[in-house]
Structure 1
Amino acid sequence: MGQWLGNRQIRCNWATKGANSGEDQLTSDSKSIADVNNNFTAENAKQKSNEDAPENNPLYRTVYVGNLAHEVTQDVLHRFFHALGAGAIEEVRVQHGKGFGFVKYSNHAETALAIQTGNGRILGGKPVKCSWGNKPTPPGTTSAPLPPPAAPGHPAAADLMAYQRAIAMSKMASTQALMQAQHLRQAAMGMGVGASQAMYDGTFQNVGASQQQQQQLMYY
């Protein structure tokens, strides 16, 4: 202590590590290597997780639509997303009474645009919540795009409703006429055979005329 070695004064003190300093250094090096490996593994897992996330995975092509009003039907939801103009819609489903539905697009980019554009918009008096569906579309799955939805009040929709009403009215009229004919025939059982048959034939002709009129109504 205090002696000079060359042109420098040396200082001496107690050593802080004993004979096991080499083992301590080896343990420290092993710990460092393990930490590096753990960090590398965690980074790889994080990167893989990011790649599998719906926003980065091209197999995700479905929009989850939440907070739907109870009166929103499949046709209403189809018109809503068709109006966004995000892309070709392949499927529309509504879980009635549960307040949510799904809209599948032709590709991942269109789905992302639909989520971004549709989220928060008002449908049925409520803001819808759009996010990614929780399941990817299996590879190789192909579906034809749905035809554009008919707007409310569109002639095609009105014609369909009128046609359905005409069918229902025709069925009701036919049923009532046949019941009336059966009743009259039973009532005429006590009369002569000729009179009974004449009444039945006349009623049957009226039933046929009624059915013909209803069929003509369906085509106008």
Structure 2
Amino acid sequence: MIKDAQNAINDLNGRWLGTRQIRCNWATKGATNGEDRQTSDSKSVPDLTSNLSEDVKDKANEDAPENNPLYRTVYVGNLSHEVTQNVLHHLFYSLGAGAIEEVRVQYGKGFGFVRYSNHTEAALAIQLGNGRIVGGKPIKCSWGNKPMPPGAVSTPLPPPAASSFTDSDIITYERAMALNRMASAQALLHAQAEQLKQAPPMGMGAGASQAMYDGSYPNIDTQQQLMYY
């Protein structure tokens, strides 16, 4: 019996079964030999890897803006170019989400930022402000990409100045002002172009220029005039 078992170990040890190599040896009570311990350790490797992956996921979830209390800034995208900081302040103040500490608009780039005094207020502002129509376009609200430094303290902004105009009225006014500035610039360019057309050719005075248009040349006899024609 012992001899048969030894022969089986000798014959099978090192052979391949599919893509894995067979290892055969005498079994020991309690599985205390090195190979059994190695097998036990190898079984625990996937468990350890799984635990590490879960830890990484948990850490990433904790650092996400929606779970990190250091994030207090709302990103506001899809803004019309006419939207000013005053318009944006009026809009988010009207939401009543909380105390606003800063309002910034990146003019000409179509986005801005509104910072609140805490994370909860900013989250509520994102929920209430997303999709609001401003200047004929729905704004897109999400978290800003930078958290506030721990312990940072700032003073809330005073309420925006009271106005009898709505946000839509203000934007319409800003758009009209922009169109007026554009029309003024075009009128100035047109006037300059007309002046260039009426200016005399280089090397001639105003009198000589007028004479050319009138068909007469002072101090030049008729024969010389015919030569010019």
* TM-score for the superposition, normalised by structure 1: 0.59
C-alpha contact 1:81 1:114 (8 A) present in aligned 2: yes
Deviation at 1:119, TM superposition (A): 0.6
In the alignment, the residues of structure 2 paired with residue 31 and residue 45 of structure 1 have an alpha-carbon distance, to the nearest angstrom, of 22
**Of 70, 85, 99, which aligns to 2:96?**
85
Q: Aligned with 1:42: secondary structure?
A: helix
Superposition pairs for residues 159-170 of structure 1, below 5 Å? Answer: none
C-alpha contact 1:78 1:149 (8 A) present in aligned 2: yes
In the alignment, the residues of structure 2 paired with residue 18 and residue 107 of structure 1 have an alpha-carbon distance, to the nearest angstrom, of 62
Deviation at 1:18, TM superposition (A): 6.2
Deviation at 1:130, TM superposition (A): 0.4
Q: Which moved more, 1:81-90 or 1:38-47?
A: 38-47
Q: Which runs of 5+ in 1 are unaligned?
A: 1-13, 155-220
Q: Aligned with 1:65: secondary structure?
A: strand
In the alignment, the residues of structure 1 paired with residue 104 and residue 43 of structure 2 have an alpha-carbon distance, to the nearest angstrom, of 54
> Aligned letter for 2:60?
S
Q: Aligned with 1:140: secondary structure?
A: coil
Structure 1 stretches (4+) deviating beyond 2 angstroms? Answer: 14-31, 151-154
Deviation at 1:153, TM superposition (A): 4.1
Which residue number in structure 1 is paired with residue 24 of structure 2? 19
Which residue number in structure 2 is paired with residue 63 of structure 1? 74
> Aligned letter for 1:59?
L
In the alignment, the residues of structure 2 paired with residue 35 and residue 84 of structure 1 have an alpha-carbon distance, to the nearest angstrom, of 50
> Aligned letter for 1:35?
P
C-alpha contact 1:88 1:146 (8 A) present in aligned 2: yes
In the alignment, the residues of structure 1 paired with residue 131 and residue 26 of structure 2 have an alpha-carbon distance, to the nearest angstrom, of 65
Q: Aligned with 2:62: secondary structure?
A: helix
Superposition pairs for residues 86-101 of structure 1, below 5 Å? Answer: 86-101=97-112
**Of 43, 58, 61, which aligns to 1:32?**
43
Superposition pairs for residues 150-161 of structure 1, below 5 Å? Answer: 150-153=161-164
Deviation at 1:140, TM superposition (A): 1.4
In the alignment, the residues of structure 2 paired with residue 18 and residue 127 of structure 1 have an alpha-carbon distance, to the nearest angstrom, of 68
In the alignment, the residues of structure 2 paired with residue 118 and residue 18 of structure 1 have an alpha-carbon distance, to the nearest angstrom, of 66
Q: Which has the higher helix share?
A: 1
In the alignment, the residues of structure 2 paired with residue 56 and residue 18 of structure 1 have an alpha-carbon distance, to the nearest angstrom, of 50
In the alignment, the residues of structure 2 paired with residue 69 and residue 28 of structure 1 have an alpha-carbon distance, to the nearest angstrom, of 65
Deviation at 1:127, TM superposition (A): 0.6
In the alignment, the residues of structure 1 paired with residue 26 and residue 54 of structure 2 have an alpha-carbon distance, to the nearest angstrom, of 33
Residue 114 (1) aligns with residue 125 (2): yes
C-alpha contact 1:60 1:135 (8 A) present in aligned 2: yes
* TM-score for the superposition, normalised by structure 2: 0.57
Q: Which moved more, 1:18-27 or 1:59-68?
A: 18-27
Q: Which runs of 5+ in 2 are unaligned?
A: 1-7, 13-21, 28-33, 166-229
Which residue number in structure 2 is paired with residue 148 of structure 1? 159
In the alignment, the residues of structure 2 paired with residue 21 and residue 129 of structure 1 have an alpha-carbon distance, to the nearest angstrom, of 69
Q: Aligned with 2:91: secondary structure?
A: helix
C-alpha contact 1:67 1:99 (8 A) present in aligned 2: yes
Q: Aligned with 2:68: secondary structure?
A: coil
